Amino acid sequence: GQQVMQIPQYQHVQEGEDFTTYCNSSTTLSNIQWYKQRPGGHPVFLIQLVKSGEVKKQKRLTFQFGEAKKNSSLHITATQTTDVGTYFCAGVNYGQNFVFGPGTRLSVLP
């Protein structure tokens, strides 16, 4: 079955440093979604990428979808303490199944 991997598993950064998490799927995706889960909270939708090579920005967050539609990345510029949480990618295959990656837990030290 479809597998979605993310690296790194954990990332500790100093406030103001940049952060990147990478997502890889074993199969070609129809789209990919990113979610953020704060400690003790539930996943909250950030963005959806659909097109090959697509790049979207939300303030300090930049999302990319690979040309082959099998990988994606999330980059945060100049992290803030409010960025703390776990970032999940969720790959959607053409059968419309949703598979979440294991997540990257981000810690930001003030």
Partner 1 sequence: EAGVAQSPRYKIIEKRQSVAFWCNPISGHATLYWYQQILGQGPKLLIQFQNNGVVDDSQLPKDRFSAERLKGVDSTLKIQPAKLEDSAVYLCASSLTGAVAEAFFGQGTRLTVV
Residue ranges that bind partner 1, judged by CB under 8 A: 1, 30-31, 33, 41-45, 48, 88, 90, 92, 96-103
Kindly tell me which of 45 and 81 has the beta carbon lying closer to partner 1: 45
> Looking up tokens 């909250």, which residue turns up?
44
Please state the closest distance from residue 77 (CB atom) to partner 1, in A. 23
Kindly tell me which of 18 and 87 has the beta carbon lying closer to partner 1: 87
User: Cα-Cα-Cα-Cα dihedral of 54, 56, 47, 49, to 10°?
Assistant: -10
Strand partners, 98: 92
Please state the closest distance from residue 11 (CB atom) to partner 1, in A. 15
Kindly tell me which of 13 and 50 has the beta carbon lying closer to partner 1: 50
Q: In what order do the strands lie in the sheet with 61-65?
A: 4-7, 19-25, 71-76, 61-65, 55-58
